[in-house]
Structure 1
């Protein structure tokens, strides 16, 4: 199951910041060329200050730029409201995907980016799509900077990849001087992909300094036949954890909220 939902969280201060995660099913030229589909995606992104986009599968490299153009052209009074940063194409063999972050420029800026190399001794190539890590500056919020580690796991390797995110955190925390971390994305962390008996083998779960905002019973799927908490948000850092209200996490059911637009995206 591929998630096509948005996970929202807010942390306060001088201004609240809405951070979201969206796995767009096989985003590329076909979707961006359909006005009704494009409108759903643009409307969903515009609801957030910072959006992680997953499963960009555009080999030609044009669809994401077109998405940004449509997003920034939607309002004449707020030209170039959003900026972005995108990874290289990631994956084994011929199958490739990209991560991207889209953010409001008046709220955020990028301090640094880091493509996790996934070359650990005796554990090389642990990820199908290595995390593209971004360090953000957020001067208007209580938390002035934070790091996001994104992930879209391979479903059949979800247990291993979620566990390996602990190593990614350790690596990045040594590289950058930030205490505030958000690990988020499509973990495939439920149902048949992560059986209950396997949670004890996942360090990101067993180490108590990590706080999971998304519970195991949260439904982040779009099909009515499934109810699985595939998408997750995990926090690390005392100030970050204190700044976030756990009840602010939501699943945006765009098929319900934007029903008139959504039929051709996920029929």
Structure 2
């Protein structure tokens, strides 16, 4: 069986005129050779990814490094962001080693076309049984990155397994990422990021830190993308893609990037609860 790779941040090339930068997180569930060879499933996966300008993909199983190059061949267009720096967080704190089942691969993005010009993404895909501790430990990753790069704008996102039996209500008091009001959670506890009709769990999350970044979020843009409903799939067809729905939000651009290079002021949307 192919090994389970760490979460992967794809820097996507948007094919659409952009009024905002869409940032997404998606657990594709066992994304390996079988899905790669299933044309109908791959068509849906590519459509989901193409909606986004930055996409965090999880559960890629690809020992031959074929899936990512194949995806990039299918994605083309205008480059909206660039990578400034990146590093793998090493979980070697004295007395608190190896908390993360998958150590976060941290990426610092530069985004010249958005109101906020740079931000750091810290991805996380937890093991369900240790999700409380892993989510809490993201604060230590934040402290490490802030000291290293002196940045202010942070996005934490991924499959946190942050719901149902994995993070019960009484456990939230032990999670610093929740208790510190400077961290803003864009996906609420009552949301359902699962495809199966028999489940209702907010496993996948997005958390922000940094006033400039938070102010740059397009009101009402944070939420779940229900690809089953959007693409008129049966539950069985949707589950062939994943048992998770993507989560997402958008950042306001300083101007729209259009083919004729004209500047367009984005329209404001009424806010809605996440």
TM-score band, normalised by shorter chain: 0.7 to 0.9
Residues 156, 193 of structure 1: 8 Å contact kept: yes
Name the SS of the counterpart of 1:193 in structure 2: coil
Evaluate the alpha carbon distance shift between residue 247 and residue 217 of structure 1 in structure 2; reply closer, same or farther with a 3 A threshold. Answer: same
The answer to whether 1:20 aligns with 2:24 is yes
Name the SS of the counterpart of 2:170 in structure 1: helix
For 1:207-222, what aligned pairs fall within 5 Å after superposition?
207-222=180-195
The TM-score, its normalising length taken from structure 1, stands at: 0.80
Superimposed CA distance per residue, residues 201-223 of structure 1 (whole angstroms, 9 cap, x where no aligned partner): 00001111111111110111100
> How many Å separate the matches in 1 of 2:44 and 2:113?
29
The TM-score, its normalising length taken from structure 2, stands at: 0.78
Name the SS of the counterpart of 1:229 in structure 2: coil
- 1:36 maps to what in 2? 40
Name the SS of the counterpart of 1:120 in structure 2: coil
The answer to whether 1:49 aligns with 2:41 is no
Shift of 1:259: 3.0
- 1:117 maps to what in 2? 90
For 1:91-170, what aligned pairs fall within 5 Å after superposition?
106-170=79-143
> How many Å separate the matches in 2 of 1:227 and 1:188?
12
Give the alignment partner of residue 254 of structure 1, picking from 227, 244, 263: 227
The answer to whether 1:196 aligns with 2:200 is no
Residues 254, 262 of structure 1: 8 Å contact kept: no
Residues 36, 261 of structure 1: 8 Å contact kept: no
The answer to whether 1:241 aligns with 2:214 is yes
Unaligned runs of 5+ in 1: 1-13, 73-79, 82-104
Superimposed CA distance per residue, residues 180-213 of structure 1 (whole angstroms, 9 cap, x where no aligned partner): 0000111000010001001010000111111111
Shift of 1:139: 0.2
> How many Å separate the matches in 2 of 1:174 and 1:217?
34
- The RMSD of aligned alpha carbons is 1.7
Shift of 1:233: 0.7
Q: Which runs of 4+ in 1 moved over 4 A?
A: 260-265
